[in-house]
Amino acid sequence: MGLFSRFKRAFKSNINDMISRAENPEKMLNQLIVEMNEQLIELKKTVASAIADEKKIERQLIQNKEQADEWERKAMLAVNAGKEDLAKEALLRKQEYGGLAGQYQTQFEAQHGSVEQLKSSLRQIQQKIEEAQRKKNLLIARAKRAEAQKRIQQTMGNVADISAFDVFDRMAEKVEQIEAEAEALKELSEPKKDSLEQQFEALEGSEASADLLLEQLKVKMKRLENKS
């Protein structure tokens, strides 16, 4: 399985749940970055293990090649010594180690190709994580702006739903009604005089005023006589 597939599978099981219950986008994005880096560490261990296997196969390949070369050298030494039977035995050993070296060569080439693919995938994942880290702050800012707009729209919607201005108008009418009722109660609580009492009060007031005017006139006429 490729590194990308493993990387995606690591998040597939819980990413939808994280998004659905995410009340704080900033917290969720930070957590995602943390989990990405944790997965990256595990993937690096996988690549490191594959590289170690490649190195091990390479060592086995070199050792078998060296053994094949050594037995060929011994076969030449036996031929020079006139010991052909011994040379044949050495050549059989050379053939054996040469065959093993060929097998290790095939394994090494396959492992080397796999390691190179893993390295390439790992670099791509690292780049994507770095890109995610760069985008994180931008996404957080966008999320905060969207949340602010959402709260404003909700507030406006609530004002429209409860008809707040209508409530104020109704309260003003209620206050006016209370004031009118208070004035009515005040008027009802004051004692009223009957019409006869009111007529005598007016008459008494008129007579008192006439007496005063008469006295003032007498005083004025007396001053005029004194002057003459």
Mean pLDDT for all residues in the chain: 79
More confident residue, 64 or 197: 64
123 and 210 share one domain: no
222 and 126 share one domain: no
118 and 13 share one domain: yes
Range of the domain at 193: 167-227
Position 196 confidence tier, pLDDT thresholds 50, 70, 90: low
More confident residue, 36 or 64: 64
CB atoms within 10 A of CB 88: 13
Structural domain ending residue among the three candidates 111, 137, 164: 164
Q: What mean pLDDT do residues 84-98 have?
A: 94
Position 114 confidence tier, pLDDT thresholds 50, 70, 90: very high
106 and 28 share one domain: yes
Q: Are 50 and 1 in contact (CB under 8 A)?
A: no
Q: Are 64 and 104 in contact (CB under 8 A)?
A: yes
132 and 213 share one domain: no
159 and 175 share one domain: no
Highest mean pLDDT among 28-37, 162-171, 182-191: 28-37
- Does 218 have pLDDT greater than 70? yes
Q: Cα 174 to chain center, whole Å?
A: 47
3-state SS, one letter per residue, for 102-168: HHHHHHHHHHHHHHHHHHHHHHHHHHHHHHHHHHHHHHHHHHHHHHHHHHHHHHHHHHHHHCHHHHH
201 and 126 share one domain: no
What does DSSP assign to residue 1? -
Position 176 confidence tier, pLDDT thresholds 50, 70, 90: confident
Position 207 confidence tier, pLDDT thresholds 50, 70, 90: low
In order of 58, 110, 160, the CA distances from 47 in angstroms are 16, 15, 60
Q: What mean pLDDT do residues 162-183 have?
A: 71
181 and 78 share one domain: no
Cβ burial, residue 68 (10 Å; 0-12/13-18/19+): buried
Look at the alpha carbons of 213, 214, 219, 221 in this order and tell me if their dihedral is positive or negative. positive
More confident residue, 223 or 203: 223
Position 109 confidence tier, pLDDT thresholds 50, 70, 90: very high
53 and 155 share one domain: yes
Quote the percentage of the chain above a pLDDT of 90.
37
Q: How many domains does the chain have?
A: 2
86 and 187 share one domain: no
More confident residue, 6 or 177: 177
133 and 213 share one domain: no
- The pLDDT assigned to 86 comes to 93
CATH of the domain at 48: 1.10.287
202 and 132 share one domain: no
The beta-carbon contacts of 20-29 under 8 Å, at least 24 apart in sequence, are 25/139, 25/140, 25/143, 25/144, 25/147, 26/140, 26/143, 26/144, 29/136, 29/139, 29/140
pLDDT in tens, 61-80: 999 999 999 999 999 999 99
